[in-house]
């Protein structure tokens, strides 16, 4: 189970950011369960390492791209930090 409040979980599901994977687990769209768990923990971490930041940015790009793809948007999009 991902470490989300009920309010955040509802919001992410309503916006299509949180979906069920093939095992029935909640995951962030475009990410595996372990990647989703890392992503959420990173956002709650007050002092992440630079290596964690690099992984987070890669996962964020993949998650946002998957969300855009699910909405039918396929134009190249650049994400800024």
The string of pLDDT tens digits covering residues 22-56 is: 999 999 999 999 999 999 999 998 888 988 999 99
**Domains of the chain, residue spans:** 6-70
Give the per-residue pLDDT at 26. 97
Categorize the per-residue pLDDT at 76 as very low, low, confident or very high, splitting at 50, 70 and 90: low
Give the per-residue pLDDT at 71. 86
Mean pLDDT of 7-14: 96
Measured distance CA(63)–CA(37) in Å, rounded: 13
Helix ranges restricted to H, 1-81 = 6-14, 33-44, 50-70
């Amino acid at each position: 189970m991902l470490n989300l409040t009920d309010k955040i979980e509802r919001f992410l599901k309503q916006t299509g950011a949180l979906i069920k994977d093939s095992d029935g687990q909640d995951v962030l769209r475009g990410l595996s369960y372990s990647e989703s768990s890392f992503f959420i923990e990173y956002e709650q971490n007050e002092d992440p390492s630079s290596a964690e930041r690099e992984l987070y940015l890669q996962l964020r790009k993949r998650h946002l791209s998957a969300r855009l793809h699910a909405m039918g948007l396929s134009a190249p999009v650049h994400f800024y930090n």
